Structure 1
């Protein structure tokens, strides 16, 4: 008995899974280290499996050169779409890092016993905002919109399609600007309060040097940061929703849909 394998379907599944795997490695919320690599591999196959019937006719020729080129193209395409999504989602963590910087919490990670090398480079609120944003993504089902935006790339850019580099460059530039603008909008009010507190403490040290305003500034800024960050948390769900919409829109524009 001869066993015949559907080579076209298997090739389409392989190439589609490679694109999905490259996207999962880069794109939030799936790029977290808490998700094992084996699970990401299974998720990539699960994402690619439903779209295989529509990709069978777009499979390249089954020779070594064509397959290597096609695999490289899928890796680049998946990583580019993932990086575009990650760039916009970084606005939330960047807002937390700005709060850490102006509130004096940025040195906390240097004393983190779980990360003695300080390799992460993120302070208290940078991590907190990042974890909260990921939680909101899964709690509200917004991760499904991100996933759907990526799966649309198989329709707009099949296995033999190519992404416009000029369009991608334009989107990355705009995404970088929007990331900084969103980070300033989220953390801006609290940064303004902390800046005014620094000015007030500086004036106090000139008027009454005996009060030692420098030592007084640490607890005052900590109190202001904790209180302001608590109020700013009410803006985070709306900010995450806006970031998701912008990320999905940017991916759709990148694939020309």
Structure 2
């Protein structure tokens, strides 16, 4: 029993060391990091993928557990994992920006619901967009691509040399601007039509000052917004696929270069 315990302990330490990067990515990633996903599921998935990583890569963890170099290595592993998941989280923020633009123009910005991703209140229209983006992400096997990139990251950034460079951190910061660009482009079809409607209503108010705009403008904005969403959603769905592709490409450029 003593020999068996001594032989299994290094393997267990290596698995726990590998699980740090994978677990950090799952905490920050949009689908795996949802509050509806139990912690035991994330730990189990991290352990299962960690076994595959150890089988594909000869990873040697630090010899001493309680050492400064070991803690620095663990911090580097967690940083890489958080960066991989954070890039996908940035892309998934684009529907929320689009919902703020569209909801404010339609007059339903007050409508909110609980976001299953983070457990906080968010616009109801943004929930609809986020669910659609999540379904598209899963339909193109984005979760499998994420797992593949996590496994490949141990080739480009092996443990001990996994600190992110200045160029990689700059690319992550610049990718944050893509969320605003994607959100505005996602809201462009419906937002432009609502803008034209508001211009028409404004000209009507100038021509007839006694006209009650609240009794005409709000119902017209709601009706036109719902019809515009129904007509323009196929194009919006195509652009959501572009958002998924761009986010996975950003993760690939971070991992592989």
TM-score > 0.5 by shorter chain: yes
Report the alpha carbon displacement of residue 133 of structure 1 after superposing the two structures with TM: 1.0
Task: Write out per-residue CA displacement over residues 157-177 of structure 1, whole angstroms, 9 at most, x where no aligned residue.
Answer: 122222333122221232122
Report the alpha carbon displacement of residue 24 of structure 1 after superposing the two structures with TM: 0.7
**Equivalent position SS for 1:243:** helix
Report the alpha carbon displacement of residue 126 of structure 1 after superposing the two structures with TM: 0.7
* Correspondences of 1:18-37 after superposition (within 5 Å): 18-37=20-39
Task: Write out per-residue CA displacement over residues 40-93 of structure 1, whole angstroms, 9 at most, x where no aligned residue.
Answer: 111111221101134444322224113322222221211111112211232233
Structure 1: gaps of 5 or more residues: none
Of 72, 75, 89, which residue of structure 2 is paired with 1:72? Answer: 75
* Correspondences of 1:4-83 after superposition (within 5 Å): 4-65=6-67, 66-83=69-86
**Equivalent position SS for 2:159:** coil
Report the alpha carbon displacement of residue 121 of structure 1 after superposing the two structures with TM: 4.7
Q: Aligned equivalents of 1:133 and 1:179: distance in 2?
A: 13
Q: Aligned equivalents of 1:155 and 1:6: distance in 2?
A: 25
Kindly indicate whether the alpha-carbon contact (under 8 Å) linking 2:26 and 2:33 is maintained by their aligned counterparts in 1.
Answer: yes
1:190 aligns with 2:190: yes
Task: Write out per-residue CA displacement over residues 183-208 of structure 1, whole angstroms, 9 at most, x where no aligned residue.
Answer: 11111121111111111111111212
**Equivalent position SS for 1:122:** strand
Q: Aligned equivalents of 2:169 and 2:176: distance in 1?
A: 11
Q: Find the counterpart in structure 1 of residue 220 from structure 2.
A: 220
1:148 aligns with 2:148: yes
Of 103, 106, 109, which residue of structure 1 is paired with 2:109? Answer: 106
Displaced runs of 4 or more, over 6 A = none
Q: Aligned equivalents of 1:151 and 1:51: distance in 2?
A: 6
Report the alpha carbon displacement of residue 106 of structure 1 after superposing the two structures with TM: 1.3
Equivalent residue pairs, number:
251
Q: Aligned equivalents of 2:200 and 2:91: distance in 1?
A: 35
**Equivalent position SS for 1:210:** coil
CA RMSD, 1 decimal: 2.1
Kindly indicate whether the alpha-carbon contact (under 8 Å) linking 2:80 and 2:164 is maintained by their aligned counterparts in 1.
Answer: no
Kindly indicate whether the alpha-carbon contact (under 8 Å) linking 2:94 and 2:180 is maintained by their aligned counterparts in 1.
Answer: yes
Q: Aligned equivalents of 1:236 and 1:196: distance in 2?
A: 19
